[in-house]
Structure 1
């Protein structure tokens, strides 16, 4: 009898779990995920300008869950910057956690060489709130830039809160994205969380839910320019391939020192320049005035799209 009761209880729990998971199975937003990847790069210049230290930012977690669960998962007490999302008729929250707030505060006030102190929960002073508000403004500015290609929007901070229970952006079961970032400033680090309820934003949610089909944005161009700057001094080995031909192995095994191999080339036959086994250009084989052998590039073998991207990246603003 007890075994039957236990099995029935387990069955009920299983059904409840399946129903709850079905209700909380929210639609993923692939385009938003791409936007957030770009955000990691877009935030660095503004934060470096403000904090004098370039942070290393990584996406720690991205969760789709009900609004009430997203708020319960945030660390308390934290600084909740409630921002009005113009053009969306909605609000989002940028949560500056204490570890990030006090890491930046110590860096900006000259405590970079001091040993980091463990923060004890307490109320935030006016200066600390002002600093946290500025961090949130810079981060929301970067998010607005990254979203501009999908749905132009501007975020304006309306209020600051320290208790997540005082923040009501949406109904408790509204579909929400919680994005937690980890920021490292040399030997100090901290966290920031974006709370974006999308369950009430039909038009914007539809755009963000579309599969990402590629494309470029101003953020991508800036990232390419930064990468080109970093690798501009890198050296590569160029291999000149005179000719390729197929020869039976039995003929190769019979080769003797001094034997001449006819490559079937003429003076006008182009040489292929290769980098890491990738054909890069065709060149004419010749000799410089000082007697050194040389190659003169006569045709690029890069795909047309690649050439256009490189031209865009190196063109002056």
Structure 2
């Protein structure tokens, strides 16, 4: 149902819109399209990095990117919020990471081995020293991912200066100065929280020229950031390895006759090495033994060439 506005309300809204246009016209700036790309990459990076810290699947998306004065950005922060101030020798000022209580409390519960269910019932008035410690760990991870994603436009070394809970103590520039605000939606364990990154426009001066134009993957003096990004993501991936002790051909007729207590002869010596296989590809030879605690373990004794092993396996089949 449409709401009918009075003449005074219409005039008030028009006045607010005009004030906003006048206020934004006071800023002399150009949009930085590379920040949109960096923001999207950061969302993808967080979706990979956060599960390493929390142990659950996480989803992250860049929901908003806008240019606002610092005062407006600070007024829009969630309350309470964990505020991390970061600095860089490659920038002309500090940047601010802000995460709401949902992101912080859910991540902390997961890092402590809990299993969050439903919406977070606990919204603290202020954060304890323990919660601030977990917030620092989370902010450090986010800062590392942001630093990595900035590599496509230049080397940005970020350092976590301090963690604050008071917005006045976390202001990274003057209230009237223009900032770029990136708002992310973070979903963990069925809960959706907010993460904001506030970049003062003046602080980006050393890399503003590169942020102002779109890079289409051309080579640069800084190396190949896409290759580095891909290598970093591959390095975090997990694979399943199998230690195969022996392979013995047995007819289905014989297998159907097996019963509890039957012994299957593997035709190998006790010191026989196992073959470590990944996705049906032989990778290593390994000796089998036991650790002091009684657990069975393997020791890599030889690195195999998958192509050579495939050729040998083909000859053996014939």
Same-fold call, TM cutoff 0.5: yes
Aligned residue number for residue 207 of structure 1:
210
Aligned residue number for residue 217 of structure 1:
226
Match of 1:144 among 126, 142, 147: 147
Assess, with a 3 A threshold, how the Cα gap between structure 1 residues 203 and 105 changes in structure 2: closer, same or farther.
closer
**1:222 Cα deviation from its structure 2 partner:** 5.3
Q: Does 1:129 align with 2:138?
A: no
Structure 2: runs of 5+ lacking an equivalent: 1-10, 219-224, 239-318
Assess, with a 3 A threshold, how the Cα gap between structure 1 residues 108 and 168 changes in structure 2: closer, same or farther.
closer
Q: For 2:191 and 2:66, how far apart are their aligned partners in 1?
A: 25
Q: For 2:14 and 2:81, how far apart are their aligned partners in 1?
A: 40
Assess, with a 3 A threshold, how the Cα gap between structure 1 residues 221 and 93 changes in structure 2: closer, same or farther.
same
Assess, with a 3 A threshold, how the Cα gap between structure 1 residues 108 and 178 changes in structure 2: closer, same or farther.
same
Match of 2:25 among 6, 22, 29: 22
> What's the C-alpha RMSD, in Å, of the aligned pairs?
3.1
> What do residues 207-231 of structure 1 show as CA deviations (whole Å, max 9, x unaligned)?
21123444571366359979xx9xx
Q: For 2:154 and 2:113, how far apart are their aligned partners in 1?
A: 40
SS in 2 for 1:20: helix
Map residues 30-179 of structure 1 onto 2, 5 A cutoff: 30-112=33-115, 114-179=117-182
Assess, with a 3 A threshold, how the Cα gap between structure 1 residues 9 and 225 changes in structure 2: closer, same or farther.
closer
Assess, with a 3 A threshold, how the Cα gap between structure 1 residues 220 and 113 changes in structure 2: closer, same or farther.
closer
Q: For 2:44 and 2:120, how far apart are their aligned partners in 1?
A: 29
Structure 1: runs of 5+ lacking an equivalent: 1-7, 230-317
Q: For 1:10 and 1:149, how far apart are their aligned partners in 2?
A: 42
SS in 2 for 1:86: coil
Larger Rg: 1
SS in 2 for 1:190: strand
TM-score by length of 2: 0.61
> What do residues 109-138 of structure 1 show as CA deviations (whole Å, max 9, x unaligned)?
333154443233322111111111111110
Aligned residue pair count: 222
Assess, with a 3 A threshold, how the Cα gap between structure 1 residues 117 and 150 changes in structure 2: closer, same or farther.
closer
Assess, with a 3 A threshold, how the Cα gap between structure 1 residues 172 and 113 changes in structure 2: closer, same or farther.
closer
